Amino acid sequence: TQLLEQSPQFLSIQEGENLTVYCNSSSVFSSLQWYRQEPGEGPVLLVTVVTGGEVKKLKRLTFQFGDARKDSSLHITAAQPGDTGLYLCAGAPGGGSNYKLTFGKGTLLTVNP
């Protein structure tokens, strides 16, 4: 069973601060996705990273896939209250099972104005 560990579990910061959340595993994933979930709603896909070492930027969010494709990070620059939510990473195992994702437990981010 492939496991994804996310850290920190909770993060509370002030508006304007920078932050990084991590997603780690001992297993190799063919791709990794990051989702954001707001209270009372389902998760929404932010990004998919596929290649080891890949970096993708989405406005103030920077996503990186580890060289060995076992870990990933999400960095937010100048956080805003609208960034508040649960951030979930999810890995695809590869082979013929890419349609089955393994989700981490999430990082609950609160950005205070």
Partner 1 sequence: NAGVTQTPKFRILKIGQSMTLQCAQDMNHNYMYWYRQDPGMGLKLIYYSVGAGITDKGEVPNGYNVSRSTTEDFPLRLELAAPSQTSVYFCASRTSGLQGTQYFGPGTRLLVL
**Contact residues: partner 1, CB under 8 A:** 9, 30-31, 33, 40-45, 48, 50, 88, 90, 92, 98-101, 103-106
Of residues 96 and 113, the one with the C-beta less far from partner 1: 96
Of residues 15 and 50, the one with the C-beta less far from partner 1: 50
Instruction: Retrieve residue 54's tokens.
Output: 């890949």
Give the span between the Cα atoms of 41 and 83, in whole angstroms: 15
| DSSP secondary structure letters along 30-63 | SEEEEEEE-TTS--EEEEEE-STT-EEEETTEEE
Strand order of the β-sheet with 55-58 is 5-7, 19-24, 71-76, 61-65, 55-58
Instruction: Retrieve residue 22's tokens.
Output: 């991590």
Of residues 17 and 28, the one with the C-beta less far from partner 1: 28
Least Cβ distance, residue 93 to partner 1 (angstroms): 12
Of residues 15 and 41, the one with the C-beta less far from partner 1: 41
